[in-house]
Structure 1
């Protein structure tokens, strides 16, 4: 029914909205890779706030559009040391966040590594702790309860 070009065009149309939300929360957009957005933030709290706001913005954007034009996020957020070279970032938390968001999270889910949960502090609502396994690597994570 729809091809990859259709979806890439939809994603490109939403990029300015999502990029603006990242910047509004003191984040930096590092790169877009097809349907994946890589961004960094000064701390875990602004990353969580941006993820919630991006989900809300896309829900608003989807209103009144046919289902084939809806966009929904699957988010993974990590917190910890990383190495940045240009627009590329490397590190265990980068890898874990990417796997949680790309391979595990479903529409409108925000999965957060245990390190990011700890760094975020109080004031957030979390699912019980879970553990994902990616090959030999075990990743403790929680889902952010953000929907009203």
Structure 2
């Protein structure tokens, strides 16, 4: 929680209050209110959270490969330069396919897309573009209802599919690999036999996911 927020001054709100702004402060106000409310009020606050921040999106978590090794062997400046180079290549590729960049932290890029197919096209193009520059990334994609904070200073998102996409992109996939959640797979408009199903247990979560089989294929969508 943001320690700068004075939660004690937060008034109760009505569900679907159209006056609420989509900001970080509003989001954490409502989370605090939900946590401290009785059961009946919690339901109202939850409706307000979804009305104000809820979106259904494809989620992409992109993790650059080789940052830790570069920092350890060559120093932090070459590693940071590598991140900057990767961002300069990847972000335009994501935006071209309708991607909304939520944030860029360390060697990760977090983005949302209107559809899974657009996210996958962006992933293919990004993998190809960064590899052409001698870099590599791992990508995880999910799909579902999430909270999106559109605050221009503190943009962020939260949700089960955000967590699952993160487990794939950051913790499971290696450089050059693209993995998607089961929910994302179900949204594909043109299913492809090159998606290989696998089962994963990580951080106490059991999930079904799919990995794209690139071997012998062009990365072009």
User: Which TM-score bucket, shorter chain as reference?
Assistant: 0.7 to 0.9
Matching residue of 2:121: 49
Shift in alpha-carbon separation, 1:61–1:138, aligned structure 2, 3 A: same
**Alignment of structure 1 residues 99-110 onto 2, 5 Å:** 99-110=167-178
Scaled by the length of structure 1, the TM-score of the pair is 0.88
Match of 2:137 among 64, 73, 77: 73
Query: How far apart are the structure 2 equivalents of 1:2 and 1:125?
Result: 41
Match of 2:206 among 126, 138, 141: 138
Shift in alpha-carbon separation, 1:135–1:15, aligned structure 2, 3 A: closer
Tell me, yes or no, if the aligned pair for 2:196 and 2:213 is still in contact at 8 Å: no
**Is residue 13 from structure 1 mapped to residue 85 from structure 2 by the alignment?**
yes
Q: Which runs of 5+ in 2 are unaligned?
A: 1-72
Q: CA RMSD in A?
A: 1.4
| Cα deviations by residue, 1:10-49 (Å, 9 ceiling, x for unpaired) | 1112212211111110111111110110000001001001
SS at match of 2:131: helix
Scaled by the length of structure 2, the TM-score of the pair is 0.60
Q: Which runs of 5+ in 1 are unaligned?
A: 63-70
Relative contact order, CA 8 A, sep 6+: which one is greater?
A: 2
The runs of at least 4 consecutive aligned structure 1 residues that moved more than 4 Å come to: none
Rg larger in 1 or in 2? 2
**Is residue 27 from structure 1 mapped to residue 105 from structure 2 by the alignment?**
no
